[in-house]
Structure 1
Amino acid sequence: MTIRMRAPELTGRRWLGTGGRDITLADLRGKVVLLDFWTFCCINCLHVLDELRPLEEKYSDVLVIIGVHSPKFEFERTPEAVEAAVERYEVEHPVLDDPNLTTWQAYTARAWPTLAVIDPEGYVAANLSGEGHGAGLAVLIEELIAEHDAKGTLHRGDGPYVPPAEPESELKFPGKALALPGGGYLVSDSGHHRLVEFAPDGETIRRVIGTGERGLVDGGPDLAQLSEPQGLALLPDGVRAAAGYDVVVADTVNHALRGLRLDDGSLTTVAGTGDQYKIGAADNRTFGQGVDPGWYDGPADAVKLSSPWDVEWSDALGAVLVAMAGNHTLWTFDPAAARIAHFAGTMNEGLEDGAPDDAWFAQTSGITIDSQGRAWFVDSETSSLRYLQSGPAAGTSDTAFEISTAVGEGLFDFGFRDGLAAEARFQHPLGITVLPDESIAVADTYNGAVRRYDPETAEVSTLAQGLAEPSDLLVVPAESAEEPVHLLVVESAAHRLTRVAIPAHAQQVSGPAQTTSRPPTEIAAGTLHLAIGFEAPTGQKLDDRWGDPTWLQISSTPAELLVGGSGAAEGLARTLTIAPDVPDGVLHISARAAACDGDPVTGELPDHAACHLYQQDWGIPVHVDGAGADSLTLDLRGV
């Protein structure tokens, strides 16, 4: 017998996209309702927004999507920030602002993103975690439509969404800026899906590149289309001549790199297929064959990418270093050879230093190169400043690379604190540049500040405050010895470029360090039975032709929390041993399952079946208590 659970009511601070009206589940009776629990810092949540757009359009008369914004960072709790995020990411459905995670807890969500489907009678029909559920959701929606059409409980017609007025500005949520060789600046006008070239004053527009419509179209400035472009990298002269273009553009939501020719403003797709990178045959990975993922190194137009966010030329690598925020990795792109390679990162989200193939990243969002060839970068989800340096490999003539962390602790530690690096805190930084004295300036986005890290003293100070989500920085040299050096700040949420003078000494500002305050899960010490629920969508089956197609990796912070059961292995169940003397910590759980389209009659898998990877990372705060649970069940895909 299947026990049907009545969907909990939707409770939060306020509603957006409803014309000022509150919505109840009773108002939505007769519709298929899809709740999308998201937070705007999360790249996986942004992927889901794009996955849901086709469903939203196809089933507009029967499907109502409700975004439930459940924040991770403190900044994401502010009403203005939520409003800006809904506008920035073109969310065209109602959004419930849930700053205290009230509805999040009612639906027992434990990860971003989480999806819940409610049938037309008000019962929960499915719970899903992570991204990549588009095809399965389409099947489930069709089933619910057929069932409730037959029962007479399906009501067709418009949903409750009321679009807000469209603001007018020359820029809309600009992302990154690039100083051009002949003077002036190129800015990725992310919200308008285009590039804008400014004169040296940073105010006069010289030209616009792109139609302003979201798309992936090559061609001249009046024909080309982009989708939320971000990073910009100027190539060295020799490389520009060999490649046939001047600037590499991270076309983030198109999952592509574009090449821009400055003389005529034409754009060409130079890396990526336009589809999002996931584990599959195209990237030379195997699944169900142990845990070694393999690393792609090949033609740039033959591999799927995942939300490239920033790009920077590196002489040490002889290539463009690409921050692949969507799967927490760094890649290298050789424009002259038209080749791209996965360079660093295991695809696990977190903060782990070491060799490129061991390191963990968390949405790398800004890169800069200092005079010594070190690549400095900010990982937004760990609020960290890190760097990549090279040196001779021991006993060989090869070059070895090492990733290190200057500032930052982990996924749930952030704040606004100056001082020694060990105690200093940022909050979701997105931009970075090198100052004339070789110190590092950080666009500390969610703190609305520009911060400075001094590598000589390992100290952090504050240069400027009161900015609206700064996302990138450029040094503007002084025009005379009497004039100060300025920073050109891309003030994203204010839709403008702002000049900030670099003071003679850093302004000292300190505040409390913070930790994400998600309610912890109460567990008992000793044996903890972990199970990941997964049910393949109708028409798919687990691909077990080459072994177990499921995989689970588990670790903890602190490491002492887990006495047994950590590590990676096949299967979606694990028995863990929890230490009795560690009262609080975080369980890091990563799960994957591969399912393929089966024959609609026999269910058998054909030789060339289309396959789908379902994956999700959880970081679950736990409190160890004698009365806590001895089991933990999570849904990768549960119906």
Structure 2
Amino acid sequence: MDAGTRNRPTVLDTAVTTAKRRARVRAPELVGRGWLNTGDTTVSLKDLRGKIVLLDFWTFCCINCLHVLDELRPLEKQYEDVLVTIGVHSPKFVHEADPEALKAAVERYEVHHPVLDDPELTTWQNYAVKAWPTLVLVDPEGYVVHVAAGEGHVDALNTIIKELIEEHDEKGTLHRGDGPYVAPEPQNTTLRFPAKAIVTPGNTILVSDSAHHSIVELEADGETVIRRIGTGERGRTDGLNPTFSEPAGLTLIPGTQTVVIADTVNHLLRSLDLDTGEVTTIAGTGEQWRDGETDGPADKIDLTSPWDVAWWNGGIAIAMAGNHTLGFYDPNTNQISRLAGTTVEGINDGPADQAFFAQTSGLAADEERLWMVDSETSALRYLENGEVHTVIGKGLFAFGHKDGDAEEALLQHPLGVTVLKDRSVAISDTYNNAIRRYDPETNTLTTIATDIAEPSDALQIDSELIVVASAAHKLERFSAAATKIDGEEHAVKRPSTDIPSGQIELAVIFTPPTGTKLDERYGPSTRLEITSSPENLILEGAGVSTELVRVLRINDQITNGVLHVVAQAASCSDDPADEHPVCRLTRQDWGVPVRVVADAPTRLPLLMGGMDEAPPAAT
């Protein structure tokens, strides 16, 4: 997810990796607008003295943050009497700063721990956070003991928590018992945060009922329930009583009664037989892809948060939101392959295998084009004849609500796209609470409807649009009349990181978790890929290497841009007696907004996991 910036010396400048090697640096107090999941009670770190506290800096637009929420669930359960997780919500988009939108997101994603609403990024900056997600571990005496950015850190956290329990049990400073979490009152609605919808061959409407972990078939009125497919419990069971985990995209295989479902949190594709109601897993292993093969037998290839699916070119195109790529499933050969993308997050057009995407969340196809919306770059794009093209979208940090010529038009985190009967394109502009219409003939964008609670998909039935109003928990109907919106451009609040023209050292900091070492058995254990927008921001040093430190030469003719950084490190357990060591790949991507100035620091540290050296004080 996108990186932020630092702007003064803070606690993380001296944090280290383990409880036994920590600097005695007090964790800053938690400051924000308010709290969720605490029964309206304010929580302070002083109140939590005696508990191990895990701060999860997140924002609800971020797929990596959603992955971490799921990774932490078993850890929270295992240590529920000593560990208190606090979600610090520091928003990227304007919509995410809306307290009602945050409240909805906390319910939607089943966040079962207290959440601090940090709309001004005060606590984010006090902890010198640079990326979503970032995890900070605080010991029972209130000192920071570990910091990690990105996903895949549960093993390291588990090791350090065990160390802290042992240490503070001996000191008598560990207090067991319940934490401050108070569950909100459950809400009872037929649909709960529905995600996507399609029309079936029987002219009914099939809806992915995401928060109910099920699929619902409705009459054409969009309200009357015919049947519910799924038990409502989170799971991954096939058969006539199936379970899902936050299913989203749906698509029908033409000429059949088979619907393909993007079972997002399970990292699977499932098929539904509309005649029998039976569900079968057709692609994915259930494990999240982190590295390795992307092409091969469908049941052997890991997927990563498939968010939407569409029938295109004789198969199923897959919006692989979790690693910023597009996948393809061939039902005839039962093979999965990479359709487009490199895993770098951003906007880069051109040949499909060189394109950058940013959390593609909606797909729709016509005869020639595969249309898509990239939520993190607020972009409308399409794939045609092996080339990717951007119609609307300016990058990771620019968004808004503005109609008119496509080159100047703005969206805000769209999640759905629909090809209409006149070959124009409807966009579910989710964080603008609007439906927009792009006309390829005139290359213009207009607004069809507003005041829709987080639309995530739309269908055209006759002259009406049936819109999945996700945060309103229902389908809504609209005509195709358009009104012009002349809104303002927004940008991410966080200031850019200052870097100098000329040489700068970019260092990704990673320390293997206690009891592990970098895995060098089959070659280099680390990988670093650096690119930029615009491309000529970096004159020398871009590309791929196996070292986590790189010297770049920055163009003094460019004043602002984005550094795209993807780093990974493989580490394995370091016990000589263990014949089969446990290995873990840690991976993080950053989109660092930068400003080129004359007197900036000549070193840019990015923390991926732990810290065995202190970065220089911020200026």
TM-score (norm 1): 0.90
Aligned to 1:105, what secondary structure does the other structure show?
helix
2:242 aligns with 224
| Structure-2 residue corresponding to 1:335 | 331
Q: What CA distance in whole angstroms lies between the structure 2 residues aligned with 1:374 and 1:632?
A: 41
Higher relative contact order (CA 8 A, sep 6+): 2
Match of 2:323, as an amino acid? Answer: N
Q: Paired residue for 2:588?
A: 616
Please name the residue that 2:604 is paired with. Answer: 632
Name the SS for the 2:167 alignment partner: helix
The residue aligned with 1:347 is 343
Q: Which amino acid aligns with 2:252?
A: L
From 485, 493, 504, the equivalent of 1:528 is 504
Quick check: 1:270 aligned with 2:246? Answer: no
User: Could you tell me which of 393, 398, 411 is aligned with 2:396?
Assistant: 411
> CA shift at 1:581, angstroms?
4.2
2:54 alignment partner in structure 1: 34
Q: C-alpha separation between the residues in 2 aligned to 1:622 and 1:335?
A: 44
Cα contact 2:346–2:564 (8 A) shared by 1: no
Aligned length: 591
What are the Cα deviations for residues 62-116 of structure 1, in whole angstroms up to 9, with x where unaligned? 0000000011111111111100100100000000010111111111111111111
* SS of equivalent to 1:301: coil
- Secondary structure in structure 1 of the residue aligned to 2:384: strand
Q: Superposed, which structure 2 residues align to 1:403-482 within 5 Å?
A: 403-477=388-462
Query: 1:499 maps to which residue?
Result: 477
Matches of 2:381 and 2:595, distance apart in 1: 30
Q: Is the 8 A contact 2:295 2:301 kept in 1?
A: no
Identity over aligned pairs, percent: 56
CA distance in 2, matches of 1:559, 1:178: 39
**1:527 Cα deviation after fit:** 2.5
> 1: distance between equivalents of 2:250 and 2:496?
40
Q: 2:371 aligns with which of 370, 376, 380?
A: 376
- Hey, what's the Cα distance between the residues in 1 that align with 2:605 and 2:110? 34
Aligned partner of residue 332 in structure 1, secondary structure: strand
**Uncovered stretches (5+) of structure 2, i.e. residues with no partner:** 1-20, 612-619
Counterpart AA for 2:140: P
**SS of residue paired to 2:352:** coil
Structure 1's unaligned 5+ residue stretches are 284-295, 391-400, 478-484
* Alignment partners' CA distance in 2, 1:250 and 1:185: 17
After superposition, residues 16-165 of structure 1 pair within 5 angstroms as 16-165=36-185
> In the aligned structure 2, how far is the partner of 1:380 from the partner of 1:537?
33
Question: 1:556, 1:353 → 2: CA distance?
Answer: 13
**Which 4+ residue blocks in structure 1 deviate beyond 6 angstroms?**
none
Give 3-state SS (helix, strand or coil) of 1:52's partner: helix
Shift of 1:621: 2.1
TM value normalised by structure 2: 0.93
Paired residue secondary structure (1:429) = coil
Offset of 1:219 from its aligned partner?
Answer: 1.4
2:558 aligned residue (575, 582, 595): 582
1:304 aligned partner = 302
The SS at the match of 2:183 is coil
1:248 corresponds to 2:268:
no
Matched, 1:360 2:356: yes
CA distance in 1, matches of 2:32, 2:103: 14
* Inter-partner Cα distance in structure 1 for 2:24 and 2:556: 37
1:279 paired residue among 291, 303, 309: 291
The alignment status of 1:488 with 2:466, answered yes or no, reads yes
Once the two structures are TM-superposed, the CA of residue 2 in structure 1 deviates from its matched residue by: 5.4
| Counterpart code for 2:42 | D
- Counterpart AA for 2:468: V
Deviations 1:276-311 (A, max 9, x none): 11114xx2xxxxxxxxxxxx3321111211110111
In the aligned structure 1, how far is the partner of 2:479 from the partner of 2:174?
61
Give CA-to-partner distance per residue, 1:397-452, whole Å, 9 cap, x none.
Answer: xxxx1111111121111111111111011101011111121100100000001101
Number of the residue aligned with 1:515: 491
CA separation in 1, counterparts of 2:23 and 2:599?
A: 26
Tell me how far 1:514 sits from its aligned partner: 1.7
Q: In 1, are the aligned partners of 2:345 and 2:564 still within 8 Å (CA)?
A: no
Secondary structure at the counterpart of residue 25 of structure 1: coil
Q: Distance in 2 between matches of 1:105 and 1:614?
A: 24
Which whole-Å CA distance do the structure 2 matches of 1:580 and 1:150 have between them? 56
Aligned partner of 1:547 in structure 2 is 523
CA RMSD of aligned residues (A): 1.5
3-state SS of 1:357 partner = helix
Q: Answer yes or no: is the 8 Å Cα contact 2:532–2:538 preserved in 1.
A: yes
